[in-house]
Amino acid sequence: MIKHLQPPLPVKIWITGCNGMLGHEFADACSRSNITWVGSDREIDITDRDSISHFASLHQPQWIINCAAYTAVDKAESEHDLARLLNVEGPGNLAELANRLGIPLIHFSTDYVFDGFRERPWCEDDATNPLSFYGLTKRDGEKRIFAATDRFFLFRISWLYGQFGSNFVRKILRLLREQDVLRVISDQRGAPTWAQTLVENIVSIIVRNEARYGIYHYADDGIISWHEFATAIRDISLDLGLITNTVPIEAIPTEAYPLPAQRPRNSAFDKSRVRDMLNFKLHHWRKNLATFLAQERDASRKS
């Protein structure tokens, strides 16, 4: 864990979407690393150029971390306008602003920009072909950033979970306490991303003022299915005492759990670039999950 890192030069970070899972995690990590940060959420509309320009002129950030996004994957199939505003127009506006200010932008995209039809892990240079409207907006948001600035770090991430807000791990935990049997999809494969280690790695590039800009794929090590992920959540939670019953978890195909938005069957990333270029430290998904669940147990005991 990164603790008390000192930036080589004074730095102030603007975190958009600071009340969300990722934004809240960044705020915590920056505070631990003695980095000055300012946050904004819905009170600053990233789709409004005047609003973000005024905010930037007041606070004079040296980096922008964009954690504001439309993330309701299935609702995006019917809420086209809102999804496009937040995932395309907003990031484009922030990229244009960052370019005018001469500062870097950090932005997050998704495995959903790929169709999942290949067997091997996806590389950063592979052609995108989103299957859902959500994936389409995230892909188009990437394009807006590419067109607006060269000083960006764009991290494609998958299956994000963390200590703030709802996520798959907490949903499975809740269902294990409420239901006698679970049914979880087994033919979609990828890797989870623990927000804490993602954020700590990214803070490290800010601390050293990294300038190797570009697209990077990031997730925890290993490749699993959602069913394998859910089973591990159950087994580790049993060991930690978070649950008391061994609830059966049935493996089902995607077709048995229809949703409005189509998901890629293969979401696995090739993470060579983020290791080689940015020297990120990646841990196995099971190690990160066990650490997270232990934190959940400790937090529940204190409450």
What is the rounded (10 degree) CA torsion for 212, 282, 124, 254?
A: -150
Distance of alpha carbon 165 from alpha carbon 161, whole angstroms: 9
Distance of alpha carbon 75 from alpha carbon 204, whole angstroms: 35
Distance of alpha carbon 268 from alpha carbon 234, whole angstroms: 23
Please confirm, yes or no, whether 134 is among the known catalytic residues: yes
H/E segment holding residue 155: strand 152-157
Distance of alpha carbon 291 from alpha carbon 192, whole angstroms: 14
Contact 80, 88 (CB under 8 A): no
Q: Which member of 134, 161, 216, 218 is catalytic?
A: 134
Range list of H helices, 102-178: 133-148, 168-178
- The residue among 8, 23, 100 whose CA lies nearest residue 61 is 100
SS3 category, 40: strand
- The residue among 233, 122, 225, 127 whose CA lies nearest residue 177 is 233
- The residue among 31, 15, 13, 11 whose CA lies nearest residue 23 is 15
- Annotated catalytic residues are 134
